[in-house]
């Protein structure tokens, strides 16, 4: 099953916390996961950023909302217990706890109204919309993912319009930014167009050039894909240049035959397709610039540990 939204998790979270005198975050997630019947794959699902699991994020935000309604309270760092109000709610055996349910508690309404007043045009965003199924962090991360998707699409469109020389130069700049050749531009070079044996660039992994990485870059437009023949030719070029390492980049994709062939040969070959190329350019700030930065902050529990 899919991970339930954070409002659906509110009742299981309160029940888990109310089942003991107190409970830590790790045990809380375990109890809730068992209660709602999540599989290992469900628990491994990540937010778009890849920094936190979807389940952990949703349990944490269910906890936050329950605390604002004074149904749960922290005992110490990462440990929680049900309040008298929380236990009273559990004794009433509600079928569901969600934001609409929490409206009955003045502390929750005060928190919600305070956030609403702090937002633009008198609103604090969608974090208190009763129909919301995503946590505030999920909303931000999905928005960032959508923006990145559009940026990747635009980047690929621009890359495919570059002339071959500029495209090869771009790939070498990216690989140097990623740390190949120790991140030093002088360790990489673009090959001459004539007699290059199908190789578009060379990166020295050590100062003496004892270990070389060869680069081939194909500026293809879909539906053209890179297949096994191109891979076989590239492997031959590696052998002809006395190295076993190579990076093959395309603005299109690699078909299954190409990928399976690379998996079987003893050479160490990295394949980078168009989507991955665009994402790497975003990650290493090649061909893009930062236009706006947001900081997300959290409580530093170390400051309050002994208070």
DSSP string, 198-234: T--EEEESSTT-SSEEEEEEE---TT--B-HHHHHHH
**Predicted confidence (pLDDT) per residue in 65-113, tens digit:** 999 999 999 998 899 999 999 999 999 999 999 999 999 999 999 888 8
pTM: 0.68
Stated length of the chain: 307
Tokens of residue 184, six digits? 């030093």
177 Cβ contact list (under 8 Å, min separation 6): 183, 284, 285, 286
Is residue 136 within 8 A of residue 68, CB to CB? The reply is no
Domains and CATH numbers, the chain: 10-123 (1.10.10), 158-283 (3.40.1350.10)
Residue 33: burial class (beta carbons within 10 Å; 0-12, 13-18, 19+):
buried
Tokens of 252: 């299109």
Q: What is the pLDDT of residues 230-255, one digit of tens each?
A: 999 999 999 988 899 999 999 999 99
- d(C-alpha 241, C-alpha 138), whole Å: 49
Neighbouring residues of 184: CB distance < 8 A, sequence distance ≥ 6: 176
Q: Where are the alpha helices (H) located in 178-292, listed in sequence order?
A: 228-240, 256-264, 274-283
Over residues 160-216, the pLDDT tens digits come to: 999 999 999 999 999 999 999 999 999 999 987 655 567 999 999 887 777 899 999
| Distance from chain centroid for Cα 135 | 16
Compute and round to an integer the Cα radius of gyration of the chain.
Answer: 27
């Amino acid at each position: 099953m899919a991970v339930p939204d954070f409002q659906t998790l509110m009742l299981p979270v309160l029940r888990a916390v109310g089942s003991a005198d107190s409970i830590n975050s790790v045990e809380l997630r375990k109890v809730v996961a068992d209660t709602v019947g999540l599989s290992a794959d469900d628990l491994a699902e990540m937010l778009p950023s890849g920094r936190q699991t979807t389940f952990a994020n949703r349990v944490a935000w269910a906890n936050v909302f329950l605390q604002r309604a004074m149904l749960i309270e922290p005992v110490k760092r990462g440990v929680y217990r049900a309040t008298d109000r929380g236990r009273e709610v559990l004794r009433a055996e509600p079928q569901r706890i969600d934001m609409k349910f929490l409206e009955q508690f003045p502390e929750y309404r005060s928190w919600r109204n305070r956030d609403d007043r702090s937002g633009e045009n008198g609103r604090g965003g969608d974090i208190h919309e009763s129909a919301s199924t995503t946590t505030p962090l999920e909303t931000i991360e999905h928005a960032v993912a959508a923006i990145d998707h559009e940026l990747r699409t635009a980047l690929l469109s621009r890359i495919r319009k570059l002339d071959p020389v500029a495209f090869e130069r771009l790939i070498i700049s990216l690989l140097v930014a990623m740390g190949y050749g120790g991140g030093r531009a002088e360790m990489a070079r673009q090959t001459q167009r004539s007699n290059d044996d199908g190789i578009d660039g060379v990166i020295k992994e050590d100062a003496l050039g004892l270990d070389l990485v060869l680069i081939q870059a194909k500026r293809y437009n879909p539906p053209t894909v890179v297949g096994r023949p191109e891979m076989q030719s590239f492997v031959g070029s590696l052998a002809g240049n006395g190295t076993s390492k190579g990076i093959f980049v395309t603005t299109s994709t690699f078909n299954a035959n190409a990928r399976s062939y690379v998996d079987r040969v003893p050479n160490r070959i990295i394949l980078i397709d168009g989507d991955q190329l665009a994402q790497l350019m975003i990650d290493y700030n090649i061909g893009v610039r930062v236009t706006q930065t947001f900081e997300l902050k959290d409580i530093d529990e170390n400051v309050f540990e002994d208070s």
